[in-house]
Structure 1
Amino acid sequence: MSDRILVGYDGSSPADSALEFAFEKFPDADVTALHVIQIPEGYWPAFEGPEVRPPVTEKAREHADDVLHTAREIAAEHDRELDTDVVAGQPDNRIVERAEDEGFDVIVVGSHGREGMSRILLGSVAENVVQRSPTPVIVVR
């Protein structure tokens, strides 16, 4: 039985499906939706380190709050509680780190997100999470 589920959430249709899947397949689990404000790859080395928080604009934080508002609406439709959080960095890294650091039992992600063209099977974030995570990962299409 999975008690704690981490859902990588970017507001895309596959992310909505991933969140709905988590609610339906894990009816008794605590679910957390994590939105990652993506820092462009070329800037990331300046912010590496476990305690370093990359600067993000107020507009980026407002957008993240709007995205997670949609996640909370989905939770309400399923009559479920939902914890939400916003972090900044590389989405795949932050999702895996959060799952490891906080002892989540399962990660659920959409097959691809908003950014760029989707790949044939998996988006790059989903693919990297699957490859790097020691925690079981469910990819939802």
Structure 2
Amino acid sequence: MLKILIAIDGSECSLDAVHHALKLVEKGLQAQFVLANVQEPASLYELVTSRDTDLIAAASVEAAQDLMAPALALLQQAGQECTTEVGIGDPANTLIDIIEDTGCDLVLIAARGQGAIASALLGSVSQELAHSSPVPVTIVHPIDAELAPDEDVDSADATA
């Protein structure tokens, strides 16, 4: 059975990857899912002002679990087997570590839609992951909300 990592950053866009996974399940795919969230490392200020680094780590894990909760609920409602993983560090490199540690066969990650200039300047986790991942990566683009699911794209273009 395939093991699929779904990267979740807490945005509505990241739920697109979960919806895509559920569409694949509806079409007969049998898989186990790993939801993964990567938190930023503690800042220097946090490290200097906090006396308890365990408290900082616990807060990061709690924040990650909160961000993954909607995605986890969607998968559980669909009766899908799912685990969660939390990493701390650079998102793409940490996701690669999680992929390797959990033995995932495939990655689903949502596109953020930053545009070419913003992606070139800021980079993109999905692009970096697509280039560096040891397993195939599917970048899920959002569905155009203006088109109904059953509406034919060609007929929509002809009337425009």
TM-score bucket (shorter structure): 0.7 to 0.9
Match of 2:30 in 1: 28
TM-score by length of 1: 0.75
Report the Cα distance in structure 1 between the residues aligned to 2:128 and 2:56, rounded to whole angstroms: 23
SS of equivalent to 2:134? coil
4+ long deviations beyond 3 Å: 54-59
Report the Cα distance in structure 1 between the residues aligned to 2:70 and 2:78, rounded to whole angstroms: 13
Letter in 1 for 2:9: D
Q: How does 1:22-101 map to 2 (within 5 A)?
A: 22-26=21-25, 27-39=29-41, 56-101=56-101
Q: Is 2:13 aligned against 1:11?
A: no
8 Å CA contact 1:15–1:110 kept in 2: the answer is yes
Identity of matched residues, %? 25
Rg (Cα) greater in structure: 2
TM-score by length of 2: 0.67
Larger CA deviation: 119-128 vs 61-70:
119-128
Report the Cα distance in structure 1 between the residues aligned to 2:75 and 2:83, rounded to whole angstroms: 10
The offset of 1:61, in angstroms, is: 2.5
8 Å CA contact 2:87–2:95 kept in 1: the answer is no
The offset of 1:77, in angstroms, is: 3.2
Aligned length: 124
Letter in 1 for 2:138: I
Report the Cα distance in structure 2 between the residues aligned to 1:68 and 1:37, rounded to whole angstroms: 12
The offset of 1:57, in angstroms, is: 4.3
Q: In 2 relative to 1, CA 139–89 (structure 1 residues): closer, same or farther, beyond 3 Å?
A: same
Unaligned runs of 5+ in 1: 44-53, 113-117
The offset of 1:74, in angstroms, is: 1.1
8 Å CA contact 1:31–1:82 kept in 2: the answer is yes
Report the Cα distance in structure 2 between the residues aligned to 1:96 and 1:25, rounded to whole angstroms: 23
Letter in 2 for 1:22: A
The offset of 1:23, in angstroms, is: 2.7
Match of 1:105 in 2: 105
8 Å CA contact 1:56–1:88 kept in 2: the answer is no
The offset of 1:37, in angstroms, is: 0.7
